[in-house]
Structures are given as structure tokens and as C-alpha cells.
């Protein structure tokens, strides 16, 4: 299964978002996902298993609890694959950043000029 296939499922993407906040007990992840997606605990366990089997998540035992965390390896591989496509959105985003900066500068200049006129 390719990384895109693994992450194509919104439940698995949400689980990774939760794990990106830091290591989480399986029960906490399960409760959040069950509430948000209306799926059963066994279904959440299956999604965690897919993430684990494909290297996106790690699990470690702490007593009776299972703690899950993101494994960044496959995400790095996905990022490298996406690098070939960044040219489609990077220049437009850079142009947008330039326009936003220009707008902020013009607004500061206008506000500065209006304050000078109002000063006795």
C-alpha cells in the first residue's frame, strides 16, 4: 500500500493529526475518533493497525496501556515524493505572500499619514 493510499482515509489522517500533538494512549485516540466519526472501537483499532503496519505510527506498552506516536519516516518519503509537485503551488504562494506584505505596508503608510494629519 502506498503512503497516499494509507493517508487517503480521513480517519487515518485524523489519527495522525492527533498523534502529531504527541504520544497518545490508544483509548484517548479511540474516544476522539469514535466521537468525531461515529465508528466503533474495533474500527479505530483497525485504522491504528494499518498506520502501524505501514510505518506511520509506533506503539509501546506502558503497563496495560498502549501509547501511540507518529513515526516520521513515511511522512518524509511522502514529502520527498511531493517535492516534484511543489512547483505547482510554491510560486503562487510566494506571490500571495508578496501581495500580502505589500498590502500591510500600504496600510501602515496610510495609517501613518492619517495620524500625522490629525496631530496638532
Largest CA distance in the chain: 73
Per-residue pLDDT of 8-23, as tens digits, reads 999 999 999 999 999 9
pLDDT mean over 44-69: 96
Per-residue pLDDT of 83-115, as tens digits, reads 888 888 767 677 788 888 999 999 998 888 766
What is the model's pLDDT at position 115?
A: 63
Name, in order, each residue with C-beta under 8 angstroms of 27's C-beta and a sequence gap of 6 or more.
65
What is the model's pLDDT at position 118?
A: 63
Contact 29, 18 (CB under 8 A): yes
Q: Give 1-4 contacts, CB < 8 A, sequence gap 24+.
A: 1/50, 1/54, 3/54, 3/56, 3/74, 3/75, 3/77, 3/78, 3/81, 4/78
For strand 24-25 and strand 57-62, is the pairing parallel, antiparallel, or unpaired?
unpaired
What is the model's pLDDT at position 116?
A: 60
Using a cut of 0.75, tell me whether the model's pTM lies above it: no
Amino acid at each position: 500500500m502506498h503512503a497516499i493510499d494509507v493517508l487517503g482515509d480521513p480517519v487515518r489522517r485524523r489519527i495522525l493529526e492527533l498523534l502529531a500533538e504527541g504520544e497518545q494512549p490508544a483509548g484517548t485516540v479511540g474516544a476522539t475518533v469514535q466521537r468525531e466519526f461515529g465508528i466503533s472501537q474495533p474500527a479505530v483499532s483497525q485504522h491504528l493497525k494499518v498506520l502501524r503496519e505501514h510505518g506511520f505510527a509506533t506503539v509501546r506498552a506502558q503497563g496495560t496501556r498502549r501509547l501511540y506516536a507518529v513515526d516520521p519516516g513515511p511522512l518524509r518519503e511522502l514529502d520527498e515524493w511531493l517535492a516534484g509537485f511543489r512547483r505547482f503551488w510554491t510560486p503562487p504562494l510566494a506571490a500571495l505572500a508578496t501581495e500580502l506584505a505589500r498590502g500591510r505596508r500600504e496600510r501602515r503608510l496610510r495609517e501613518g499619514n492619517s495620524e500625522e494629519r490629525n496631530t496638532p
